[in-house]
Structure 1
Amino acid sequence: MEFHIEPKLFDAVSEFKIAIIHYNRTTVSDSPQMLKGRLQLFQEQLFFELEERPLHEIDGIREWRNVWKALGANPMENPSSVELLYYRVAKQDYIETHSSAVDLNTLFSLQYGIPSGMYNLETLVGDIHVTVGQEEVGYEGLNGSFNSLHNMILLKDGYSPFGSPYVDSVRTAITEETSEILHVLFLRPDMSVEEAQHLATACGRMFTSLNGGESSETILHKGNPSLSVADLPTQF
């Protein structure tokens, strides 16, 4: 399976980069109380921070608004997934727990201020491309609605689009039967490659410490726009 960022993305956002984390032989289950408590506590602490700090001052939210504008999308009408999470926390509409994988994904997104998606690798077909959605492109999302991805970044395999920093699709959702996961961190463009690698490694280690299995991480950017998932170095 090849993973490739299409060149037109770099034409619009030259410093665009993502982290790809591959989890193998992992076990998804109900979240342990430790993770539930950590997610709840982080949201409560973030709520008080957001009382004094407006959303546009959050680095990840500000940078992803700029990405949307560079691509021709409206960040006010279709905010990134991390902005939606922060908006909910600011309203004390705290995110409920789902599973040991999904809850960690939520925690990573809130903690690092970036959109983040996890996808069931067993449901993906062929190569994966990171591109910009055309006017007719969309899918049924995890938000329960059909979502247009016009002028927004999306992930697509040989079958259809399945993920985005906006909202992910139902087709590739993580369940307790999922054992192989593709985790994509939609990084802040201003983040250095070295910082991004450190962040991805930290996420991979935390995920496998809780869910078992192995993780491998790499950063895709203008100087390294593609990789083979099978070629990722496995860490034990």
Structure 2
Amino acid sequence: MAETQRIQTFLDGAQVASEVFELRPDYRALLMVVHGITPGPSDSTSESLLQEAETSARAELSQHPVTEIAHIAAWREAYKAFGAKPQRTRNSLEALTRRVESGLPRVNRLTDIYNAISVKHQIPLGGEDLDKYRGPPRLIRATGKEIFETTANGETVVEYPDAGEVVWCDDTGVTCRRWNWRQGPRTALTEDTTSALFILDVLEPVSDNALTTAADELASVLEQMSPSIHVARRIIAASKQ
């Protein structure tokens, strides 16, 4: 009961700043917390999902250039709205879709699973280790003073987002830069993660039904892997503010 209350409090505290909705009133975020995951490395389940996603994306790419796939094109426009150059800074969905021909990355079981769901459903999807979070997630437009810890040449380095950049953050600092471009290593999923936060980002033309369907498949796969998990979710949208 205490864990259930903690998760609900965490989700209730999540926020998307009004300035973000001013950029894209059609933006919606589905936040899903999953507790009690059996940790582990990449396996046959994650491999099968990645292969399915690769097949699906290759079929789509045979019909359209990557930049003309509807949701990728929408995110490119969203990036332009806060000053990012989409040809240099690619949203996570576009970056993964571009890797399909040579093969999606194999990282660890949880990361592989959410990457596969992202590509299959063509929805940007990020995963964070909930136990490494400090306070609830917030999507804001940065002042430029927020701390983002990353790595370079094996060393931890600190970067600062551009003023006006859209970033996910917690009480410690930025967890993901440029909406869904680069996640930080501080909260990254590992082979030891047992509690995770997944964030699914959508713009039009993706419907609420399509968003929920992607989240349902993610939850179903994780439940098959860990039957005793606890799942809670929340959708944040301008209409729900």
Question: TM-score interval w.r.t. the shorter chain?
Answer: 0.7 to 0.9
Is 79-88 or 132-141 further displaced after alignment?
132-141
Q: Deviations over 1:122-161 (max 9, x none)?
A: 1111232111234455634489787664344211111101
Secondary structure of residue in 2 paired with 1:103? helix
Pick the aligned partner of 1:174 from 182, 189, 213: 189
Change (3 A) 1:70 1:159: same
Tell me whether 1:73 sits opposite 2:72 in the alignment. Answer: no
Distance 1:167 1:42, change over 3 A: same
* C-alpha distance 80-142 of structure 1, shift in aligned 2 (>3 A): farther
Q: For this pair of structures, how many residues does the alignment match?
A: 223
Query: What residue number does 2:43 align with?
Result: 32
The SS at the match of 1:223 is: helix
Gap change, CA 1:121 and 1:38, over 3 Å in 2 = closer
Give me the whole-angstrom Cα distance separating, in 1, the residues matched to 2:158 and 2:71: 25
The CA distance in 1 between the partners of 2:165 and 2:226, in whole Å, is: 32
Tell me the amino acid that sits aligned with residue 68 of structure 1. Answer: Y
**What is the rounded CA distance, in whole Å, between the counterparts of 1:198 and 1:51 in structure 2?**
24
In the alignment, is residue 154 of structure 1 matched against residue 154 of structure 2?
Answer: no
Report the equivalent of 1:198. Answer: 213
Checking the alignment, whether the CA contact within 8 Å between 1:196 and 1:219 is kept in structure 2 is no
- Given that residues 114 and 188 in structure 1 are in contact (C-alpha distance below 8 angstroms), is that contact kept between their aligned partners in structure 2? no
In structure 2, the partner of 1:5 is 16
> What is the CA RMSD across the aligned residues, in angstroms?
2.4
Please state if 1:107 is matched with 2:116. Answer: yes
TM-score normalized by the length of structure 2 = 0.82
Larger mean CA deviation between 127-136 and 55-64 belongs to: 127-136
Q: Which amino acid aligns with 2:137?
A: I
1:118 aligns with 2:127: yes
The residue that corresponds to 2:7 in the other structure is none
Which residue of the other structure, out of 103, 106, 114, is the alignment partner of 1:94?
Answer: 103
Could you tell me whether the CA contact under 8 Å between 2:175 and 2:187 is conserved in 1?
A: yes
Structure 1, gaps ≥5 residues long: 226-236
Structure 2, unaligned runs of 5 or more: 1-9
1:138–1:66 Cα change, 3 Å: farther
Does residue 223 of the first structure (1) align with residue 223 of the second (2)?
no
SS at match of 1:171: helix
Maintained 8 Å contact 2:56/2:120: no
Alpha carbons of structure 1 residues 51 and 95: separation in structure 2 relative to 1, 3 Å: same
Q: Read off the aligned partner of 2:191 and give its amino acid letter.
A: E
Verify the 8 A CA contact 1:197 1:218 in the aligned structure 2: no
Q: Is the 8 A contact 1:143 1:167 kept in 2?
A: no
State the Cα distance separating 1:66 from its structure 2 match. Answer: 1.3
The answer on whether the counterparts of 1:17 and 1:189 sit within 8 Å (CA) in structure 2 is no
Per-residue CA deviations over 1:161-193 (Å, capped at 9, x if unaligned) read 112400100000112221111100112333333
Aligned partners of 1:19 and 1:217 also within 8 Å: yes
Change (3 A) 1:4 1:99: same
Task: Tell me the CA shift for residue 110 of structure 1.
Answer: 0.6
1:127 matched to 2:136? The reply is: yes
Pair 43,160 (structure 1): closer, same or farther in 2 beyond 3 Å:
same
Q: TM-score, normalised by structure 1?
A: 0.83
Higher deviation after alignment, 145-154 or 187-196 = 145-154
Percent identity between the aligned chains? 19
Q: Which amino acid aligns with 1:8?
A: E
